A and B are shown apart, each in its own frame.
Chain A
Amino acid sequence: MTDLAKHIVDGAMFGSLYALIALGYTMVYGVLRLINFAHGDVFMVGAYSGLFAAGWLGVDSAPAPWKTAAILIYAMVVCMLLGLVIERVAYRPLRNAPRLTALITAIGVSLLLENGGQLLWSATPRSFPDLIPAGPARPFIVMGCALAMAVGLELFVKRTRTGRAMRAVSQDKDAASLMGIPVDRIISVTFAIGSALAAAAAVLYSSVNPSVNPTMGLLLGLKAFVAAVIGGIGSLPGALMGGLILGLSEELISAYGASSYRDAIAFTLLIVILVFRPSGLLGRGVAEKV
């Protein structure tokens, strides 16, 4: 494989993982108009849950597929519950408060998870087992898993009753409620799905990049959010596209130029996109009503 092809494959792999995390941001933003700052830290908890599950199963490297699946599912369930608790305790009481209040609470939850993580698991990075054997097939396995989940989500949102209810809530919460949609339950479901996707992304990401620490979610979460904004927040295909754009540009720019500027690439892209197309690539602009 040539160098360029390798970088493109890697970029697409990280991009599909950004996309998985971005889906969570974009879904929550769709129904609540809230940047869930804690989402990146839910991702971190997912990585730790995967790590512990691997420990209990005695997994070291390249385990049987069912063990990998068990670890993935365990992490997803833990984060699903965490997402539900966060929504119930920290966000639901503020449903009718100014949006700034909820945003600050989200930052508080994020700080709490990060620092709670440092307290419980110490700040020292831990190494994550090699769940997916290293080799030329690995990026494609990761991408395949991520894409399968993204497509599954798209089908869920477009084809099921709950999915339709989610779309209704994101269009107009009050009207949805008048039509008999249990808005609170739908919001809970949204959080649960978003958090589970973050956990899946965390397990996949950590098997490729095997260093797990309590602050890993900070920058990754911000970048995934950037991916969601680039694609147009609220739009599922947009999140996928934004993730891929971000992953590819990070990988290619740092491979052929400024690797030490890697962390600045996402934010530069964000600013350029927001200045020229404030609603993102696939987002719809919303007119302000008086």
Chain B
Amino acid sequence: MRPSGAFLTGAAILAAAAVISALQVTRVALDPTVYRLMVLAGVNVTLAVSLNMVNGFTGQFSLGHAAFMGIGVYTTVFLVDRWGPAVYAAIPGPAGFRQVAVLLLLAVVGGAVAAAGGLLVGLPSLRLRGDYLAIVTLGFGEILRVFIQNVEVLGASRGYNITHTEVTPPTDALFFWVAALALAAVMVSRNLMMSGPGRAFLAVREDEIAAEAVGVNAYRAKVLAFVISAAFAGMAGVLSVTYNTYADPSIQSIGFLKSIEVVLMVVLGGLGSVSGAVMCAGIITVLPELLRSIDQYRMVVYSLMLILLMLGRPQGIFGTRELSWDRLRRRKAASTPRQ
């Protein structure tokens, strides 16, 4: 069987990420700013693609996605200093292997805790529709933030600096894992959309009542989408805090403003378009750096962009379409004149 284009693309991206990380580790380093942006972009791609499962595919409107990332972040800082060294010592093998094992364990636990959080938030709030859902998810996000800012073991409002950074892979190697996670998020949402549950998500988005009428349990589909999306956001949080080695409980980093930023990525890309979410996550990560000279206007430019885009092209840059090799090839074939 010929491997599909998507598979080859994925493999190529992962290989490139491995090469970049390897180069970075062996000190043929990239510019630190560029490397940091690449890691951030990977995290943001994961966030945007996972939020797209809820806001894009299932047609719900969550305004609290950053909270699930926050759960991942704070699960990590809670675990790593407390049990990190013990777990690290218990794992056999060379240092690099142990670090990766600890990181994967953290990602699994962080993802699971975030998924549990998603279930907890989703069960009551997904009974509501549209605006109410938006405001309740926002409410949950803010409650979590205020809560974290009050918990002394998590550093309260000062944030938390990880001390045992030696039990996880060095930041130079993290890009590989961040890229792998982003890729996994893309693959999962792509394949999900071709499976039964994914089709149910789409049906709920198109017409909830009609979906119910043909036997789709709309509520269950919404909760499922919410939980998967929360799990990915949690894992993104684990990686981002492992990279930063500092957990920041501010509204920009795990609160309302971060949630808005992720929503912006998804909406600009086109609700329901995975490639749109990926691309806009990249753009929105890099743009502030490019606009550094006009840093104070950055958010004004953002908000104007958002308003103008909504007025001019409400479906986002990509609409619900996807960028794919097949489409490009077909377009090329269509544009070459027949002999």
Q: What is A's interface to B at a CB cutoff of 8 Å?
A: 33, 35, 90, 93-94, 97-101, 103-105, 107-112, 114-116, 118-119, 218, 222, 225-226, 229, 260-261, 263-264, 266-268, 270-271, 274-275, 278, 288, 290
Contacts and interface: CB of A to CB of B under 8 A. Distances in A.
B130 A107 contact: no
A93 B143 CA distance: 35
Interface string B123-145: 01101101110111011101100
A83 to B, nearest CB: 16
B279 to A, nearest CB: 18
B302 A111 contact: yes
Interface of B: 61, 124-125, 127-128, 130-132, 134-136, 138-140, 142-143, 146-147, 149-150, 209, 256, 260, 263, 267, 271, 296-297, 299-300, 302-304, 306-307, 310-311, 314
Contacts of B306: 104-105, 107-108, 111
A112 B311 contact: no
A104 B267 contact: yes
A100 B61 contact: yes
Given A267-B143, A288-B209, A116 B300 contact: yes
Contacts of B130: 99-100
Contacts of A288: 209
Contacts of B147: 261, 264
A115 B291 CA distance: 15
Contacts of B134: 35, 103
Contacts of A115: 299-300, 302-303
B303 A108 contact: yes
Nearest to A99: B130
What 4 pairs across the A-B complex have the smallest Cβ distances? A267-B139, A111-B303, A108-B306, A112-B303
A275 to B, nearest CB: 5
A111 B261 CA distance: 11
19 contacts: A94-B310, A94-B311, A97-B314, A99-B130, A100-B61, A101-B314, A103-B134, A108-B304, A108-B307, A112-B300, A112-B307, A116-B300, A222-B142, A260-B150, A266-B139, A270-B139, A271-B139, A275-B127, A278-B132
A200 B256 CA distance: 27
B317 to A, nearest CB: 14
Contacts of A263: 142, 146
B311 A93 contact: yes
B136 A271 contact: yes
B136 to A, nearest CB: 6
A101 B124 CA distance: 25
A98 B302 contact: no
A266 B135 CA distance: 12
A153 B127 CA distance: 33
Contacts of B307: 90, 105, 108-109, 112
A275 B127 CA distance: 8
A35 to B, nearest CB: 5
Contacts of B131: 33, 35, 99, 103
Interface centre among A104, A105, A109, A229 (most CB of B within 10 A): A104
Contacts of A109: 303, 307
A279 B134 CA distance: 15
A77 to B, nearest CB: 24
Contacts of B128: 274, 278
Contacts of B297: 119
A101 B209 contact: no
B207 to A, nearest CB: 10
Interface centre among B130, B135, B149, B296 (most CB of A within 10 A): B135
Contact of B135 (A35, A97, A101, A104): A35
B300 A264 contact: no
A101 B310 contact: yes
Contacts of A271: 124-125, 136, 139-140, 143
Given A109-B307, A270-B139, A98 B146 contact: no
A43 B309 CA distance: 25
Contacts of A260: 146, 149-150
Given A103-B131, A229-B132, A267-B142, 15 more contacts: A99-B131, A100-B130, A101-B310, A105-B310, A107-B263, A108-B304, A111-B299, A111-B302, A112-B303, A218-B256, A226-B135, A260-B150, A263-B142, A271-B124, A278-B132
